[in-house]
Structure 1
Amino acid sequence: LLFFSFHPGTAKISSLSQVFLLGHGLKDLDEDNFADRVALQIIIPDNPTAYELALASDIASRANFESLVIDFSLVKRESEMGKWENLENPIFIGTRIKEIQKLAAKKKIILPNLTKEQGLIFLFSYKNKKGLLLTAGSQHSLLQTGRAFFLRWPYFWEIWGREEGATYFTLEKDLSCFLKNDGIVFDQISITEALYEFFPITSPHETVKRLRFNRGELKNLRIHIDFHEKNQQEKAFHALQELRHQHKRGQMTDILTYPG
C-alpha cells in the first residue's frame, strides 16, 4: 500500500529501515563511525506474559549486538517509562499496555483487526514523537512477528548462507530510482508498516517443519511518500498503476519485484 503526503516527517525514526541505523536507532557519541549507544526503549506491560518478556529480551539482545556498549536497561515496564516527551524511539510490545489503549481510545492510533495467525509492526506519531507498536492476533504470533522483523532486519526474509538479499534499504532505493527515472520529484520515502502471517503447519514430522522456508511470511508493506506538489503525487500514482499493469502482463518484472 502507498500513502502520499505533502509534509515530510522530522522524527529520528521515520521508516522501518532506520530501526538499527546509525543516527536513528543507534548513536555514535564519540564520532568514530561506530555505534556506542542504543537510542531505543522497549516498553512492556507491568504484568508481562512469557511471550512478551521473551520478545523484549530478543529485541534488546539484537539492539545491543549493534552497539559497542551494552545497555542492560533497554526494557522497561510501563510504570517505569516516564513521560511520553522523554521517551526515545519507544518500541511497545503488544496492546495490553495501558498507554496504547488510551491512545487507541482517543483515536490517536488505529489498532487493526488481525487473525490469530497475523502480526503487525507499525510506526505512529504522538506529541511530535515517533513510536513503534507490535500487535498481533495471538501471543504466539506477537512473538513470531517481533522475531521475524527485528532478528531478520534489514532483510525481509530469512537469508540462508548469503550476505545479500532484499532489504528495507533496497526497496526504498529501488522505489526512489523508479520515481526519479520518471521525472517525479518527491521529498522522502518511508516504510511505515509490515504485516506478517504465520500459517500453521499440520505435519507432525519435525523434518518437514524445518524444510518449510515460507514460515514467518512477510505479507504486506505500507510505504509513505512525501510530496510538496500535488501534480507530482498524481504522476507517481499513475506511474505505479502502470507498473502494476505491466507486471500483470509479465513485463517489467525486474522493477520493484521481490521474491516471497
Structure 2
Amino acid sequence: MPVTGSGDDSERFLKYLDLPDDYEPSPTRAPLDFLRAHLYQLPQHLAVYFSSSVAPRERTALPIVRNRRLNYAQSPAGSTALGYSAGRAEWPLLWEQSGSTRDDVKPGELSGQDERAWANANFMGGQGGELGRLGGLLSEYEAEREAERMRALRRDRAVRESMMPQVEEEEDESDEEDDATDANAAAEEESVEEHRAAFERLLRERFVYGTLDDFDYDSVDWNDEWDSIAERDNEERWFDADDDDDMVVDIDRSGTPDY
C-alpha cells in the first residue's frame, strides 16, 4: 500500500538519506521495499510516518522488525507486557479462547515440533527461511519449558520414593488414597500452570507475527532501542562511511592536508 500524503513526504525521507529524487524503491509507492532497504538508517521520528501505510502484520516481513520484536519479547518490559497478569487484563477474550481451545490438550502435548509447525503453516503460508527460524525459536521456548517440567517431576518423584516409610500391609490402602489425593492436587496445579504458559506463548506468537490487537507496535517496530548489538554496529558503520564520503581532503605540494 502506498504511503498516503504528498511528494513532500517522499522528499523528507530521501533528503535525510541523501538519495536522489527519482530513487527506487520509492518511499511513497513501495514503502515496504523502501523500509527493507533503509529502515535501519531512519530515526524513529521519520519511520513513524509509515505506520498508517504498513500494517504491523506486513512489517513482519522485515527482518529488522522481527528482530526488534523478539528482543522486546525477551526483555523485562516485554516479559511483563506479554505476561499472564497483564495479558489477561489487556486481552481477556484471548485468555478465554486460549482456555477453550486448549482444555482438551494434555500437559506436554504442545511440543517443540507443534510450535514449529504452527509458525510455518499459519503465517504467510509458511513462506520464507526467516519465518522458519522464528518457528525454531518458538519451538526452543517450548522444548526448554517442557524439559524443565519433566526434570522437576522426576526430582519430586525420587524424593517421595526415598522418603517413603515401610508400612504394614493394612496401611497400604490408606496410603494409596493419600497418594491419589496428592496426585490429583498436583495434576490440577500443573493444569493451571500449563494453561498460563500456553496463554503467554500465544501472546508472544501473536505479537511477533503482528496480529496482537491493540498493541502499540510503533513503540517497538520503529525504535532502534530494540536492535541487537550487531545491528547497531552495522548502523554506526553506515553513518561513519557516510561521513567519510562527505569529507574532501586536498593535498598541496608540500604534502600538507588542506581541509
Question: Which TM-score tier does this pair reach, normalised by the shorter chain?
Answer: under 0.3
Question: RCO greater where, 1 or 2, for CA within 8 Å and sep 6 or more?
Answer: 2
Structure in which a larger fraction of residues adopt helix: 2
Structure in which a larger fraction of residues adopt strand: 1
* TM-score with structure 1 setting the length: 0.23
* TM-score with structure 2 setting the length: 0.23
